[in-house]
Amino acid sequence: MSSTILLENPEAGIAVLTLNRPDKLNALSWEMLNAFQAALDTAESNADVRVLILRGAGDRAFAAGADIAGYEGRREREFMDFQFAGRRLNDRLEAFPKPTIAAVNGFALGGGFEIVLCCDLIVVATTARLGLPEGLLGLSPGGGGTQRLMRSLGRHATAELLLTAWRMKGERAYQLGLAAALCEPEELMSTALEKARAMLKVAPKALTEMKRLVRLGADAALPTALAFEQEVLFRLYCSEDGQEGIDAFLEKRSPQFKGA
C-alpha cells in the first residue's frame, strides 16, 4: 500500500485510515485515491474490522482538498478522469458496509470535506475548519459536496457555505448537528475511539442494516422508507443475533453476538 495512505488496527474491531501527506496538508492526489480504494478493500474484507476511523496526518489538516497543482494547464481529459475517480471513491466510502467515523482536525476543504460528508459520524476538533471553497478558484465542487451537504444541513445553510466560500469552524459544525462530537485537538482520536467502541457493542448485522437505513431512507418516499425499515427489523428478529440479544436481555447478561 502507498505511504500516502496508512491503515492500522489500534485495537480489536477498529481500523484507522490515515491520509498521509502532511507536508501538502494531506491534499488528494491520484496516488492517494488509488491507495484509498485499496485500503477500503482491505478493511472491508477483514472480518475483524467492524468500524473504520478516518483521519489526516499531522495537526494542520484532515485534507485540504485536491492537489491544485495537478489542475494547471487546462488538461480537460485528465481533470475529468480525476474528478470521476474522486466521485467513485466517495460513493464507495458512503456505501461502505461498516460504520465510518471522520476525525477532523484543521482543514477539511473541498474534496477533503466531501470525504468527511461520506462518513456516518463526524467528530471535530475546535481547530477544524470545514468548507467547499471551490468558487474562489472559479470552480464548483464535483465529488458530491453540494448534494451531500444539502441533505445534511438543508438548502439555506448549504447555500451560505458555498456562495460565501465560508470555512465553518468545528464548533459551528457541532451546533448545526453536522458533527456528533466537539473536542480539543489532543482529545480527537480518543473521542473517535470512544464512539467506535460504543458501536462495537451493537450487533454487527444490526450495525450494517441501520447504516443502510439511514443512507437509503433519507432519499426515499416516507412510505417506502417505512416499509424498508420494517423489513429490516423482521429479518433481524429472525437472525441468530436478534434472538441472542432478546435472550440476553431477559436473562440479564451481556449478549454474545456472532454476526449471524
Contacts of 163 by beta carbon, 8 Å cutoff, 6+ apart = 135
Calculate the CA 95 to chain-centre distance.
Answer: 10
Residue with cell 487546462: 74
Distance CA 180, CA 100 (A): 12
Give the residue numbers marked as catalytic: 114, 134
Report the distance separating Cα 221 and Cα 29, nearest Å: 38
DSSP 61-90: EEE-SB-GGGGTT--HHHHHHHHHHHHHHH
Q: Give dist(CA 180, CA 259) in Å, integer.
A: 26
Q: Are 113 and 153 in contact (CB under 8 A)?
A: no
State the Cα–Cα distance between residues 127 and 169, nearest whole angstrom: 7
Of 103, 92, 101, which is closest to residue 34 (Cα–Cα)? 92
The DSSP letter of residue 179 is -
